[in-house]
Amino acid sequence: MEKLQIKLNLRDRKIKNLEMKKGIIVLIALIAAFSGSVKADEGMWLPALVQKLNIDKMHAMGCELTADQIYSINHSSLKDAVVALDHGSCTGELISPDGLLLTNHHCGFGEIQAHSTVEHDYLKDGFWAKSRDQELPNPGKTVSFLISIKDVTAKIDSALTPDMDENAREAKVEEVASKIERAASEGTDYQARVRSFFESNKYYLFVYETFRDVRLVGAPPQSIGKFGGDTDNWEWPRHTGDFSMFRVYCSPDGKPADYSPDNVPYHPKHFLPISLKGVHKGDFTMVMGYPGRTERYKTSYGVQYTMNVTNEVRTKVRAKKLAIIKKYMDTGTKARIQYASKYARSANYYKYSIGQNKGLKALDVIADKKALEKRFTAWIDEDSSREAKYGKALSMIKDAYTNTDDEVAGAYMREAFLRGPEIFTLAMRANGLYEVMKNQPENKEAIKAMSARIQGSLDDFFKDYNAPTDEKLVAALSKIYADNVDPKYYPAYLNTIKDKYKGDYSKFAEKMFKKTIFANKASLIAFLNAPSLKVLKKDPAFQATEQIIDAMRVINSDNMKTVPELEKGRRLFVAGLMKMDKGQNLYPDANSTMRLTYGTVGGYSPRDAVWYKYYTTLVGYIQKDIPGDDEFDTPQRLKDLYYAKDYGQYADKDGTLHTCFITNNDITGGNSGSPVINAKGELVGAAFDGNWEAMSGDIAFEPNIQRCICVDIRFVLWVIDKYAGATNLIDEMTIVR
C-alpha cells in the first residue's frame, strides 16, 4: 500500500510539478543559516593558479594532492585526464589507459539518438560495445585536452591606450590576441585561444590538442540514464544513472586524426583510478571541468534584465514549442526517436529559467546587488581619482538597460526563430548559394560546390524532421513573436499574415509548407541538382527566412548603439571591484575554460522541517517506479537485481547500493560529466546537475543550499558490470578497493 501511495504521489507530482515549487523557495532565505556546517570555497578557479590561490585551503579541507599533481605542464597531472567535449558543451574524463572516456548520458544523448532506429532503439534499450570493433563513430564529435594556460594580460594591455573607444579597444585586443595565438600554435597541431576574464580586465592563453575520432562505447537505457525525466530534472533527491561512455582514437603515431579504421585507441598522459570506497559526510571533493557561463559580477540592472527578458521570453516560447513537439513524439517510436534530443535540449533550460527566476526572487538577489553597488559608490566617493576612473561605470550600465525594445526583440528572435522552426535554419543554409547565383551567376563551380555542401547534410536533417510538426511551430512561434515584439522589428511576412491572411498564422504556414522546396527532401535535392535563382526567389520559406535575417540586422543595429557603453561600464565596474576588494581572492566568471572547484560531501535543508541527506540508494529508485511511465518506468532487469540484492563489490558498507550523492562544489552548465575526485585523486562520481532551490547560482552562489548532484561511480560500474554484462570495460579500468 505504501509503495502504491508513493507511485500515486509521483504521478501527481508529474502533473503539477511546477506549481508545487511555489511554496518551496519562499522560505529559503529564512532557513539558510541552519543548513550544513561546512561551506564550499565559492568560485571556479583556474587550475594554473591553484598553487598561488587555493592549495593551502584545499589541504586544510582534506586534499592530499600537491598543486603539481593537479596541474602541471612538465609532467602528467589531473588536468590531462579531464577533457572538453565538443569544445566545452560538456566535460568528460579518461578512465583507462586505452582512451576510455566517461561523461553524462545527456552529454552523449545526441550521439545515442543519432545511432538509434526503430530496429535498434539505443535510447530505449541502451548500447554496449563488447569489443572494440563494435564501437560506433560520431562524425563531428571532438575531445580537447588542455596543454597549458598562460597569463598574457601584460602583452595585451601594453597595446591599449586610455583614449581608445570600446570598438577600437576591442579591435586592438583581437589583433594582439591573434598574434599570440598564431605564435603559440605555429608548427604544431595544437589550437590556441586567448580568452578574456573579469570583464576584459585579464587575459589568458589556452592551448589545446583536439581529437576528432570519438566513438560511442556504452550507454544505459534511457530508463536509467534519464530516469526521472523532466520531473526530476534539477531536483534532489535523485536516482539517475546519468552516464555514457566513449573512446578517443588517434592515428597510429598518436596524433589527432579524422575517423579511420586504421586509427588506434589514444593513450592519455593520465587517467583516473576509480575508488570503490564511496563518499561520506564531510569528505573532500574536487570537480574539474569546463563550466560554461556564470555572471557573478552582474549588476542589479543586469539581473532585472535576466529575469524580465531572458528568462520570461525563454519560458513563454519554449512552453509552446515543447507542447507541440511532445504531441508529435507521443504518436510512436519513430517520432519519439526523431525528436528526443531536440526536446531534451529545449526542456532543460526551459525548466532552469523558471527555477532561476524563483530563486532570484526568493533570495532577494537584486537587493544584495544594490547593496554592493552602494558600497562601490561609497568607495568611489572617497577618492577623486577613483571618481575619474570608475565613477561612470554604473550609470553606463544602467543607461544601456533603459530602453530594451531591441533586446526584447533579440530574445524573441533567438527563441522563436533561430531556435524555433527548423525550416528557417535549413533555408538559411541556402543564403550563400543565393548570393553567389545573384551576384556571380557565371561562377558555376562555386554554385555547384555550395549546392553539394547543402545536399550532403540533408540525410541527417530529414532523418529527424517532421514537416507537419514544423508547420505547427511556424504558426505558433510566429504569432508569439508578433504579439510581443515592436512591429519595427517584424520580418515582413508577419505583416503579410496580418493584412492578407487576416491574422491566420496557421493558414499562412500551411500555404508556405505546400509551396516550399525546403519541407521535402526530394524536392530540395531536385532543386540543388539544378539550382535556379528564380525558384529560390519565389520560395515562401526562403523569402520568410531572408526577412528574418533582415529583421535581425535591424535588431543588431539598434543593439550595437548601447553595447559599447555597456561593455565599458561592466569592465570599469569589475576593475573597480578588484581594486576595492584587493587582498581577497576574486575568481573569474566561467567561460568554458577549464576550472577547478572544491568542497565537501553533505546534505542540506530545502525548507522548514525538511533535511535532505547526502546520498540516495537503489531503494529509492524502486520506490519511484511507475510501470509504463515514460519517466519513471524501471527496467525489469534492474528490479530483478535489486530484489536479489545482487550488488557485488559495488555495495556500500551499509549493504545498500548508492545511486547518487551531493556536494557543495560550485558548478554550472558545461560541468556536466565532470569528474568528482576524492582527496587522493581518485574518481568517486560524475557531476550531472544542480538542485532546484539554487537555480540562482549562476548569478549568486548560496553555499548553504547550492548543491552539485553526482552519480555515484559505484552505481555506474554496477550498471556496466551487473546490469549490462560489459565486463570488458570493467577489466580495462584501474579500480581501487
Active-site residue set: 106, 242, 672
| Contact between 214 and 142 (Cβ < 8 Å) | yes
Handedness of CA 490, 492, 498, 504 (dihedral sign): negative
- Name 398's Cβ contacts closer than 8 Å, sequence gap at least 6: 299, 301
Euclidean distance between CA atoms 86 and 65, whole angstroms: 29
C-alpha cell at 596: 577547478
Which residue(s) pair with 136 in the sheet?
216
E strands of 487-632, at which residues? 595-600, 615-617
Nearest in space to 113 (alpha carbons), one of 244, 229, 14, 292: 244
Axis-axis angle for helices 405-412, 467-484 (nearest 10): 170
Contact predicate 285/606, CB 8 Å:
no
Sequence-separated (6 or more) residues with CB below 8 Å from residue 417: 424, 477, 481, 491, 548
Using an 8 Å Cβ cutoff, are 276 and 650 in contact? yes
193 φ/ψ angles, rounded to the nearest 5 degrees: -145, 125
State how far the Cα of 216 lies from the Cα of 549, in Å rounded to an integer: 37
* Dist. CA 729–CA 128, nearest whole Å: 9
Cell numbers placing 502? 487576416
Q: How far is CA 467 from CA 98, 322, 529, in A?
A: 43, 16, 22
Pairing of strands 658-663, 675-677: unpaired
For residues 721 and 647, the answer to whether their CB atoms sit within 8 Å is no
Give the burial string for 442-456 (b: 16+ CB within 10 Å, else e).
eeeeebeebbeebee
Task: Indicate the helix (H) or strand (E) that contains 82.
Answer: strand 82-85
Paired with 210 in beta bridges are 144
Checking DSSP bridges between strand 264-265 and strand 244-250, what pairing results, if any?
antiparallel
E-strand stretches of 111-181? 127-128, 136-137, 143-151
* Contact residues for 412 (Cβ-Cβ < 8 A; gap 6+): 313, 317, 480, 481, 484, 485
| Residues pairing with 658 in the sheet | 617
Grid cell for residue 229? 525525466
Helix (H, G, I), strand (E, B) or coil at 74: coil
Number of H helices, E strands in the chain: 35, 20
String of DSSP letters for 185-247 = HTTSS-EEEEEEETTTTEEEEEEEEEE-EEEEEEE--HHHHTTTHHHHTT-SS------EEEE
Instruction: Provide DSSP, 429-484.
Output: TTHHHHHHHHH-TT-HHHHHHHHHHHHTTHHHHHHT--HHHHHHHHHHHHHHHHHH
Place of cell 553524462: 104
Name the CA dihedral angle for 332, 338, 343, 344, rounded to a multiple of 10 degrees: 110
CA distance 164 to 145: 36
Euclidean distance between CA atoms 287 and 216, whole angstroms = 24
Q: Report helix, strand or coil for 109.
A: helix
